[in-house]
Amino acid sequence: TAGGLMRTEFISFPASYTVQQVIDEMRAKREEFSDYEVKYVFVTDSVGKLVGVLQMQDLLLADPATPLSRIIIEEVLTVNHRASLDELISFFEDYPLLGVPVLDDEQRLVGVVLRSDVQDAETDRITQEHLETQGIVGGDELRTMPLVLRSRRRLSWLSVNIILNIIAASVIAYYQDVLSSVIALAVFLPIISDMSGCSGNQAVAVSMRELSLGVVRPSEVFRVWWKEVSVGLINGLILGALICLAAWLWQGNIWLGVVAGAALAINTVVAVSIGGTVPLILKGRNVDPALASGPILTTITDMVGFFLALSFAGMLMDKL
Amino acid sequence: TAGGLMRTEFISFPASYTVQQVIDEMRAKREEFSDYEVKYVFVTDSVGKLVGVLQMQDLLLADPATPLSRIIIEEVLTVNHRASLDELISFFEDYPLLGVPVLDDEQRLVGVVLRSDVQDAETDRITQEHLETQGIVGGDELRTMPLVLRSRRRLSWLSVNIILNIIAASVIAYYQDVLSSVIALAVFLPIISDMSGCSGNQAVAVSMRELSLGVVRPSEVFRVWWKEVSVGLINGLILGALICLAAWLWQGNIWLGVVAGAALAINTVVAVSIGGTVPLILKGRNVDPALASGPILTTITDMVGFFLALSFAGMLMDKL
């Protein structure tokens, strides 16, 4: 929040001061002020409410006897101390300012949020999200950290993943008889699993980016789903046709191609539907979408993909 | 580069000017200067070389007749116009400045790079890298873009991936006879493939982050490899033991567990070795590591994982 990111070292003077008084006080506190990053000077009233901002040039060029109230810019852009990082990011996108004053609920000036601090926080968040989608959780990893810590942090994610993998692969165990009759299908199960995972991850990446840009809201699940279905249909049909062709050329049996191709095509639509919407749903429920979208996606698409391929093969058993 | 990111609107005066001349000229050009983001004032000599920088306060507090040469700060931090984004990022990490003057090879002042512009460029790069690791290439995607464009951009990546997948899965085709004798192994092939891919992607994420932080250089491949091997051995043994136990409980045959567990354990070491080092090797050869690391990793680990599981099963056939 703005309250957490703001700096509480700022320069402010009462509106009753003259330019000369400001210059005198600035000269006296020169050492102290030189550490401050932004050179805005704020003007407040008797109870600490912000009434305006001064530009250095105006101070430089005005007559020393002028009261501050005469040269202040009164229309000052401000943010509330509870403003979120997202709100601060879009504020600095809208206005070319180096900093913005932070007001409490009584409109009193309590600090300044700098553009550079907001951007640092944004960079940290994007890096963190990326690491989380790749299974690095519980804080960033550097290779100089102790081996046991690095190993444990990665394992905390891998051990959840192996359980989900076993659940997904149990679909294959259930259809063992079909698979042993059509062993050629074993080649296509990992392809269907991996390709659907990739298609779904593309949809996750687009949703995560749209969420962080603020161009999509968690409530727009249905619109996003529809947008993904149309891409999924096109890409699923093309990829399904490719895999169908590969299977046909390899085994000389078009029905094997139809089974593998249809499973991949349908599962692509399933994968992008899940990948596109799950981040929105998780965000709407305040669960971190970067962390949870991937495992949900791959577990469901693996199960559905294996089920589709093996059940289609079961139906067409006499032709395979 | 600094030359590409810099702003060419900056305020500079000859060292021969007095404070009063500066104030007069600033007053005259007030409208123009008010658009400039940073209020540093630079001082140059007769051929445009940077000789110092002025702080607004000093201008404010000095006697009007003082020549600029008396009040300038002469030790100015600068960057060359060919400085890379990485160099600029680490510059602003080291120094709490809002901007840095950019000099050409003759030490002439040619522009100013702002901290905020460097941070914007860094944020864009991180976002872009993340999208590329997720298979969104050829520019960012928004769901408001035309369907055909969105579909084609995603397909450009998926169509490469499907070829790599077919190559990797062809290992299974080669070992069809083994697999049809030990059909239970079909359940474990996707688990080995997915788990190794995850372990490798964690190593990719750590390497990408260390590269962007500048704490690892492309030449340190051997050190990184060794660091990854140690993590890979621990995590591989633990994950291998888990999968061995699951296989043993399910089929009542410990040898099936040994085959699956050993394949996963060894392939985890292979995966983290590839995942950790490939980004460094690609970066050293000026190939975009974000784009190419993932496909190389998953193709090799899939092939090795399938080969290990199926060849171990072939060796232990009479016990399975």
Nearest-CA residue of chain A relative to B60?
A: A60
- Which pLDDT belongs to residue A35? 65
Q: How would you classify the pairing of strands A79-80 and A50-54?
A: unpaired
Phi and psi of B253, rounded to 5°?
-120, 110
- Which pLDDT belongs to residue B39? 62
In the DSSP assignment, the letter for residue A316 is: T
From chain B, pick out residues whose CB is under 8 angstroms from the CB of A194: 161, 165, 193, 298, 302
A209 contacts B161? CB cut-off 8 A:
no
- Among partner residues A131, A159, A230, which is closest to B205 by beta-carbon distance? A131
3-state per-residue secondary structure call for A237-278: HHHHHHHHHHHHHHHCCHHHHHHHHHHHHHHHHHHHHHHHHH
Q: In what order do the strands lie in the sheet with A50-54?
A: A11-14, A41-44, A50-54
Q: Where are the beta strands (DSSP E) in A10-114?
A: 11-14, 41-44, 50-54, 79-80, 99-103, 109-114
196-255 in chain A: CB under 8 A from chain B: 198-199, 201-202, 204-206, 209-210, 215-216, 223-224, 227, 230-231, 234-235, 238-239, 242-243, 246, 250
CB B257 within 8 Å of CB B244 = yes
CA distance A4 to A17: 31
Q: pLDDT category, B37, cuts 50, 70, 90?
A: low
Q: What is the end-to-end Cα distance of chain A in Å, rounded?
A: 61
- Which pLDDT belongs to residue A254? 94
For chain A, say whether B145 makes contact (Cβ under 8 Å). Answer: no
Whether A151 shows a pLDDT value over 80: the answer reads yes
- State mean pLDDT over B255-282: 96
Nearest CA to B152 out of B134, B129, B136 is that of B136
Whether B59 shows a pLDDT value over 80: the answer reads no
Q: Spell out a b/e string for B96-123, using b for 16 or more CB atoms within 10 Å of the CB, else e.
A: ebbbbbbbeeeeebbbbbbbbbbbbbbb
pLDDT tens per residue, range A46-100: 888 888 888 776 777 777 788 888 888 888 889 999 998 888 988 888 887 778 8
**Shared domain check, A208 and A78:** no
Rounded mean pLDDT of chain B?
Answer: 88
A116 contacts B227? CB cut-off 8 A:
no
Distance from CA of A204 to the nearest CA of B (A): 8
- Which pLDDT belongs to residue A259? 96
- State mean pLDDT over B161-172: 93
Nearest CA to A198 out of B144, B271, B163 is that of B163
Interface test with A, best of B116, B159, B228 (most A CBs within 10 A): B116
Q: How would you classify the pairing of strands B11-14 and A109-114?
A: unpaired
Element (H, E) at A55: none
- State mean pLDDT over B209-220: 87
From chain A, pick out residues whose CB is under 8 angstroms from the CB of B129: 130
Nearest CA to A213 out of B136, B129, B143 is that of B143
Which one-letter amino acid corresponds to residue A172? I
- Which pLDDT belongs to residue B164? 93
Please name the residue that has the structure tokens 């990053």.
A37
**Shared domain check, B182 and B114:** no
**Shared domain check, A93 and A174:** no
How many helices (H) and strands (E) are present in chain A, helices listed first? Answer: 13, 6
pLDDT tens per residue, range A9-24: 888 888 888 888 888 8
Whether B45 shows a pLDDT value over 70: the answer reads yes
Nearest-CA residue of chain B relative to A161?
A: B195
Residue B145 in any domain: the answer is: no
CA distance A83 to A65: 38
**Shared domain check, B227 and B114:** no
CATH of the domain at B85: 3.10.580.10
A159 contacts B242? CB cut-off 8 A:
yes
**Shared domain check, A306 and A233:** yes
CB B306 within 8 Å of CB B189 = yes
CA distance B217 to B224: 10
Which residues touch A163 (CB under 8 Å, ≥6 apart)?
none
A72, A89, A114 — which closes off a domain? A114
A114, A129, A153 — which closes off a domain? A114
Of residues B37 and A143, more confidence is placed in: A143
CB A251 within 8 Å of CB A261 = no
- State mean pLDDT over A249-271: 96
Residue A5: both structure tokens together: 């990111």
- Which pLDDT belongs to residue A185? 93
- Among partner residues A161, A205, A243, which is closest to B195 by beta-carbon distance? A161
Instruction: Kindly compute the dihedral angle of the four CA atoms of residues A216, A218, A221, A223, in this order, to the nearest 10 degrees.
Output: -30
A134 contacts B302? CB cut-off 8 A:
no
Whether A124 shows a pLDDT value over 80: the answer reads yes
Lowest-pLDDT range of A174-178, B107-111, B299-303: B107-111
**Shared domain check, A189 and A57:** no
**Shared domain check, B268 and B204:** yes
**Shared domain check, A174 and A110:** no
Residue B130 in any domain: the answer is: no
- Number of structural domains, chain A? 2
Nearest-CA residue of chain A relative to B226?
A: A143
- Among partner residues A116, A188, A246, which is closest to B119 by beta-carbon distance? A116
Residue A235 in any domain: the answer is: yes
Instruction: Residue B82: give the domain boundaries.
Output: 2-122
Residue A145 in any domain: the answer is: no
Residue B220: both structure tokens together: 């340190």
In the DSSP assignment, the letter for residue A95 is: S
CA distance B283 to B289: 6
Phi and psi of A51, rounded to 5°?
-110, -15
Nearest-CA residue of chain B relative to A135?
A: B202
CA distance A271 to B128: 22
- State mean pLDDT over B287-294: 86
Whether B302 shows a pLDDT value over 70: the answer reads yes
- State mean pLDDT over B227-233: 96
Residue B139 in any domain: the answer is: no
Nearest CA to B92 out of B13, B5, B9 is that of B5
CATH of the domain at B186: 1.10.357.20
Please name the residue that has the structure tokens 């928004």.
B142
Whether A33 shows a pLDDT value over 80: the answer reads no
CA distance A168 to A308: 13
Ordered DSSP codes for chain B: -HHHH-B---EEEETT-BHHHHHHHHHHTHHHHTT-S---EEEE-TTSBEEEEE-HHHHHHS-TT-BHHHH-B-----EETT--HHHHHHHHHHS--SEEEEE-TTSBEEEEEEHHHHHHHHHHHHHHHHHHHTT--SS---TTS-HHHHHHHHHHHHHHHHHHHHHHHHHHHHTHHHHHHSTTHHHHHHHHHHHHHHHHHHHHHHHHHHHHHTSS-GGGHHHHHHHHHHHHHHHHHHHHHHHHHHHHHHHS-HHHHHHHHHHHHHHHHHHHHHHHHHHHHHHHTT--HHHHHHHHHHHHHHHHHHHHHHHHHHHTGGG-
Residue A142: both structure tokens together: 């550097």
Determine the 3-state secondary structure of A288 from DSSP. coil
pLDDT tens per residue, range B60-72: 777 778 888 888 8
In the DSSP assignment, the letter for residue A11 is: E
Nearest-CA residue of chain B relative to A231?
A: B151
**Shared domain check, A311 and A196:** yes
Rounded to 10 deg, the angle between the B115-133 and A188-213 helix axes is 160
Nearest 5°: the CA angle A227, A232, B300 is 130
Determine the 3-state secondary structure of A119 from DSSP. helix
Nearest CA to A130 out of B236, B154, B207 is that of B207
Residue B142 in any domain: the answer is: no
**Shared domain check, B310 and B223:** yes
The strand pairing partners of A79, in sequence order, are A102
For chain A, say whether B291 makes contact (Cβ under 8 Å). Answer: no
Q: Where are the beta strands (DSSP E) in chain A?
A: 11-14, 41-44, 50-54, 79-80, 99-103, 109-114
Residue B310 in any domain: the answer is: yes
Which residues touch A231 (CB under 8 Å, ≥6 apart)?
A203, A272, B147, B150, B151, B154
- State mean pLDDT over A149-170: 91
The strand pairing partners of B114, in sequence order, are B99
Whether A39 shows a pLDDT value over 70: the answer reads no
Residue B243 in any domain: the answer is: yes
Residue B132: both structure tokens together: 């590329």
CB B270 within 8 Å of CB B203 = no
Lowest-pLDDT range of B12-21, B54-63, B174-183: B54-63
From chain A, pick out residues whose CB is under 8 angstroms from the CB of B179: 183, 186
**Shared domain check, A178 and A109:** no
Distance from CA of A75 to the nearest CA of B (A): 16
Q: How would you classify the pairing of strands A99-103 and B99-103?
A: unpaired
CB A176 within 8 Å of CB B186 = yes
Interface test with A, best of B130, B208, B291, B306 (most A CBs within 10 A): B130
